[in-house]
Structure 1
């Protein structure tokens, strides 16, 4: 996605004013939410194991709304991860589907310890409330240091906004650092070629190594105060290879 990859601030416009403030920070997250390994927004140059699947789910608390995400993904062929999922948001007593994500991701070079990897992801995010669809593509790269104890990810991509019909540059830089055998610290910043970027800090902990993961994050727009901050808690499940 890991979206995104990004959904853009103000996407709903005047047609959906109650949802606009509540989903302002989430606007930048939807595209990359489908791609990055939780809890990162900046995507990595990795995919689900061949013939295996994963389910990433999380709850994201904004100042005025709560989002619930579920993004299942499978790798049927060995080098093509397919994701189909979405999000629902609850605000002012209403719960509505806000995003439906479809994405494919492949690798040109797999990352090895103390090496690097690069791939390509592309997809679409449909926004049922606004009756629009965004298209995007981006290149994730990852760099391993200290035998994978520290990994740096960079993203550079393109977003076509369905509502405004504008093209935007998207970017992200993130780091994973191992704190203990099963616990990782993540830190990242990401944004578009317009507006202030966002940042996010979090922890990732494996309850069962490479199979069951819990995570939690805090994020905000740079200089955004309390109006655009968010907290999230997530659960990630990865299967063994089982597909034919």
Structure 2
């Protein structure tokens, strides 16, 4: 995946690792993973000319500080394989409640070692505010992100944003829809479904996505999983 696309996805996404939302969203929500526990999100994105693999473990040791440390591998048919690394911290000012709203703050860095290494030793820094609102007893939950990403290679700032919704069809199945991007590029959108295999512990998901008004290379199908044990320490 092109560098700019990575910069758009990760700052808003990662993430983004709440206990009920998260995968397959790029847009984050105002929740954290379970207190005194960790979670694992892993997924693959398949593009016409490349495939990505991601693993993002996150822990919440204090109850209101979620720390994520993960990595991704991109394998393209015509270029050398590349890897990326992410570190992020997230906290909440107000946790999302049923039929209520929540808001938080996240900050992190995305490292691209193979992309102009000397200019990116400190990575690309980002920060954003996730806002969420619950309706009809959590049958509809909406998420809004607003943030900024500083690209150290170009020394430029991009304003990032995301809007997403989850729509519960049954206790086990939830539909997801979102659009996200920055102030300089055409936005991205994706839609899909999430299935709870073991409630509150193990879920799988799948999405179809593309860049609006973009080239065919900027479309994908993704498959992911998420494991959220109740307590580990």
User: What's the TM-score, normalizing by structure 1?
Assistant: 0.87
CA offsets per residue over residues 14-33 of structure 1, 9 Å max, x none?
Answer: xxxxx64xx66444212233
State the match for 2:126 in structure 1.
Answer: 136
Paired position in structure 1 for 2:56: 71
Pairs within 5 Å for 1:3-152? 20=2, 25-36=5-16, 37-92=22-77, 96-130=81-115, 131=117, 132=120, 133-152=123-142
Q: Which runs of 5+ in 2 are unaligned?
A: 17-21
- Residue 196 of structure 1 deviates from its aligned partner by 1.1
Conserved 8 A contact 2:34-2:228: no
Asked if structure 1 preserves the Cα contact closer than 8 Å seen for 2:75 and 2:82, the reply is no
Q: Distance in 2 between matches of 1:156 and 1:228?
A: 23
Change (3 A) 1:190 1:52: same
CA distance 1:24–1:162, shift in 2 (3 Å): closer
Q: Does the Cα contact within 8 Å between 2:126 and 2:147 map onto a contact in 1?
A: yes
1:225 and 1:104 map into 2 onto residues whose CA distance is: 33
Deviations 1:52-110 (A, max 9, x none): 11000001001111000000000011100000001001112776342100000000001
**From 210, 213, 218, the counterpart of 1:223:** 213
Q: Does 1:209 align with 2:199?
A: yes
Distance 1:156 1:101 in 2: 19
SS of structure 1 residue aligned to 2:26: coil
Distance across 2 between alignment mates of 1:122 and 1:235: 24
Confirm or deny: 8 A CA contact 1:25 1:229 kept in the other structure: no
**Paired residue for 1:7?**
none
- Find the counterpart in structure 2 of residue 240 from structure 1: 230
Contact 2:96 2:132 in 1 (8 A): yes
CA distance in 2, matches of 1:43, 1:135: 17
Please give the root-mean-square deviation of Cα atoms over the aligned residues, in Å. Answer: 1.5
Runs of 5+ consecutive residues of structure 1 not aligned to the other structure? 1-18
**Number of equivalent positions:** 223
Alpha-carbon displacement from aligned partner over 1:151-171 (angstroms, at most 9, x marks no partner): 000000010012111011100
Name the TM-score, length of structure 2 as normaliser.
0.91
